[in-house]
C-alpha cells in the first residue's frame, strides 16, 4: 500500500517512549516488507507481540495439486462445491487451482467467526462473490460486502466475521499483491490514467482492542516440506494495538469502483488490470460500453497467451446468451498456455453492433502453469474441452451447442 495512514494513538517520534495513563510502556512492533527496504507500519501493543505459550501442528485442508495433464481447457463449477453455507472462512476453504506462486480457493461461509489466522506465505486477496460482514485485524476492522477485494498483507493476524453467509474466492499469493507499477507515480500515487484511485481503497479507521489470554492463532507458512500450518498460542490477545501508522495495512476495494477503460476497437485484458503479484496478475471485466469503430468486433480475437494460464471467474451479468454452454455465475474457466482460446464463429457474428456488455468476471493470469486442487477436480465439467468442436473423443459434447465464450477475454 503506497500511502500513509494513521489510526489510533502514536507517539510524535518513532522509536521513542510511549506510555499509557498509568505510565506503562507500550510495545512497539515494526511490520515491514522486504527486510526494512519497503512499505512498513509501526504498531503499538499493550502486550508483548512475541509472547507465545504454545506451538503445535495445525493440519491444513487438502493442498494436493494435480497437473493439467493431458492438457485441456477446463470448466469448474464452484457452486457445486458447497451445497450448503456454513463452512469456515479459513479452515474449510478448498483449493481449486494452484502453482508455486499463487493458490486460488473457494469457500461458502456461515455466520460463525473464523479462528484467528495469518498467512505467512504471502498476501491474500479475497474476492467477495456474495455476502457481507467484517474482517477483524490487528490494524482494526474492515467491513466487507459483495464485490469487494479484501487485501490482507502477509502475516496480518485477522479473522473473518461474516454477517451473513458469504461466498469467498481467496487468491493467496506467495508474494505481495499491489496495484501495477504502471498505475503509480515514481513516489507511489495512483496516476490519472489508473482505473481507480486512493479514494476507492478503504483501510481500517479505528483500532480494535480486545482483552484475552492464551489466544490461539493459526499460521499458514512454508517449510522445505511445502505449505504447512501451525497453531500458536499467545499469552495476551493479539488485538491489543492502541495505534499504528505507516503504509502497510489491509484494505478493501469494491469492483464497482473500478472505472473500465474502453476503446474504439477491442481492448486487451491489461487495460482491465486491478492488481499484480509475483508471476501473476488480477484483472476484472465489468459492465461497460464496448467498441465504437463502425466495423468493430466486440468479442475478442482468438488468442494464444503463450506465457500464461488464464483463469476467469464469472461473478455477474446476463448469461442467457450462453445457455447450453455450461458457463454461468460461479463458473471458472481455465484456459492454459499451449492452447488457443476465443469465441465460436457464431458468437462473433452475434456480437457485431453490440454497444454494451453486461457481464462481470475476475481474472487471474499466471505465468507458470496451474495445477488442479482437490476442489478443482471435484467441480469439473468434463464436456467443456470439446465444446468449440461440438464433439470429443466420446462423440457429441454434452451441452456443447453453444461453446463457452466470455465476451471479454
Q: Interface residues with Fe ion (CB under 5 A)?
A: 310, 409
CA 301 vs CA 350, 379, 388: distances in Å:
14, 28, 14
The C-alpha torsion from 363 through 364 and 368 to 372, rounded to 10°, is -90
Q: CB of 278: closest distance to Fe ion in angstroms?
A: 21
SS3 260: coil
> Between 174 and 409, whose beta carbon lies closer to Fe ion?
409
CA proximity to 407, closest of 333, 303, 329, 300: 300
Q: Are 158 and 114 in contact (CB under 8 A)?
A: no
Compute the least distance from the CB of residue 97 to Fe ion, in Å. 16
CB of 102: closest distance to Fe ion in angstroms?
Answer: 18
Query: CB of 387: closest distance to Fe ion in angstroms?
Result: 15
How many Cβ atoms are within 10 Å of 284's Cβ, its own excluded?
Answer: 23
User: Which CA distances in Å does 167 have to 96, 315, 400?
Assistant: 14, 11, 28
Provide the minimum distance between the beta carbon of 283 and Fe ion in the complex, in angstroms, as a whole number. Answer: 10
The nearer residue to Fe ion, 366 or 409, going by C-beta atoms, is 409
C-beta of 303: minimal distance to Fe ion in Å?
5
**Grid cell listed for 281:** 496478475
**Minimum distance from residue 337 beta carbon to Fe ion (Å):** 11
Residue number, 275 or 285, with CB nearest to Fe ion: 285
Q: Closer to Fe ion by CB, 252 or 308: give it.
A: 308
Q: Which residues of 294-326 are buried (b: 16+ CB within 10 A; e: fewer)?
A: eebbbbbeeeebeebbbbbbbbbbebeebeebb
Q: Return the number of the residue (129 or 309) whose C-beta is nearest Fe ion.
A: 309
What is the nearest approach in angstroms of Fe ion to the Cβ of residue 143? 33
The C-alpha atoms of residue 206 and residue 193 are separated, in whole angstroms, by 31
- Residue 70, Cβ density class (10 Å: 0-12 exposed, 13-18 middle, ≥19 buried): exposed
Give the nearer residue to Fe ion in terms of CB position, either 251 or 384.
384
Choose between 154 and 341: whose C-beta lies nearer to Fe ion: 341
> In this structure, what are the phi and psi dihedrals at residue 259, rounded to the nearest 5 degrees?
-100, 105
How would you classify residue 184: left for phi > 0, otherwise alpha for psi between -120 and 50, otherwise beta? Answer: beta
CB 290 to Fe ion: min, Å: 16
Pick the closer one to Fe ion by CB: 154 or 272: 272
d(CA 184, CA 188): 5
**Residue 284 or 409: which CB sits closer to Fe ion?**
409
Among all residues, whose Cβ is closest to Fe ion? 409
Distance CA(168)–CA(106), nearest Å, equals: 6
Amino acid at each position: 500500500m503506497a500511502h500513509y495512514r494513521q489510526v489510533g494513538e502514536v507517539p510524535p517520534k518513532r522509536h521513542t517512549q510511549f506510555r499509557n495513563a498509568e505510565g506503562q510502556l507500550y510495545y512497539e512492533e515494526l511490520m515491514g516488507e522486504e527486510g526494512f527496504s519497503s512499505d512498513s507500519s509501526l504498531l503499538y501493543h499493550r502486550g508483548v507481540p512475541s509472547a507465545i505459550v504454545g506451538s503445535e501442528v495445525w493440519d491444513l485442508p487438502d493442498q494436493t495439486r494435480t497437473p493439467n495433464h493431458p492438457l485441456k481447457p477446463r470448466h469448474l463449477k464452484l457452486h457445486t462445491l458447497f451445497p450448503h453455507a456454513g463452512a469456515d472462512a479459513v479452515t474449510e476453504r478448498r483449493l481449486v487451482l494452484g502453482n508455486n506462486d499463487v493458490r486460488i480457493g473457494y469457500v461458502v461461509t456461515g455466520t460463525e467467526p473464523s479462528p484467528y489466522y495469518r498467512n505467512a506465505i504471502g498476501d491474500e486477496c479475497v474476492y467477495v462473490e456474495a455476502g457481507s460482514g467484517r474482517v477483524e485485524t490487528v490494524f482494526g476492522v474492515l467491513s466487507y460486502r459483495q464485490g469487494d477485494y479484501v487485501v490482507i498483507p502477509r502475516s496480518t493476524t485477522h479473522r473473518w466475521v461474516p454477517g451473513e453467509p458469504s461466498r469467498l474466492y481467496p487468491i493467496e499469493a506467495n508474494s505481495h499483491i499491489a496495484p501495477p507499477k504502471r498505475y503509480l507515480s515514481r513516489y507511489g500515487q495512483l496516476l490519472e490514467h489508473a482505473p481507480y484511485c486512493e479514494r476507492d481503497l478503504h483501510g481500517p479507521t479505528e483500532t480494535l482492542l480486545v482483552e484475552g489470554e492464551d489466544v490461539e492463532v493459526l499460521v499458514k507458512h512454508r517449510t522445505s516440506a511445502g505449505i504447512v500450518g501451525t497453531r500458536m498460542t499467545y499469552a495476551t490477545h493479539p488485538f491489543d494495538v492502541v495505534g499504528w501508522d505507516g503504509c502497510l495495512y489491509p484494505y478493501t476495494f469494491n469492483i464497482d469502483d473500478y472505472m473500465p477503460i474502453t476503446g474504439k476497437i477491442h481492448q486487451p485484458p491489461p487495460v482491465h488490470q486491478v492488481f499484480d503479484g509475483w508471476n501473476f496478475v488480477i484483472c476484472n471485466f465489468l459492465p461497460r460500453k464496448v467498441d465504437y469503430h463502425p466495423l468493430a468486433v466486440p468479442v475478442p480475437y482468438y488468442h494464444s497467451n503463450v506465457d500464461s494460464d488464464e483463469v476467469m471467474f464469472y461473478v455477474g451479468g446476463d448469461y442467457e446468451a450462453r445457455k447450453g454452454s455450461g458457463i454461468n455465475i460461479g463458473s471458472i474457466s481455465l484456459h492454459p498456455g499451449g492452447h488457443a482460446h476465443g469465441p465460436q464463429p457464431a458468437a462473433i457474428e452475434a456480437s457485431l453492433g453490440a454497444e454494451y456488455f453486461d457481464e462481470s468476471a475476475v481474472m487471474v493470469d499466471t505465468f507458470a502453469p496451474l495445477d488442479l486442487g482437490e476442489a478443482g477436480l471435484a467441480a469439473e465439467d468434463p464436456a467443456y474441452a470439446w465444446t468449440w468442436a461440438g464433439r470429443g473423443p466420446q462423440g457429441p459434447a454434452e451441452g456443447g451447442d453453444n461453446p463457452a465464450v466470455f465476451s471479454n477475454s
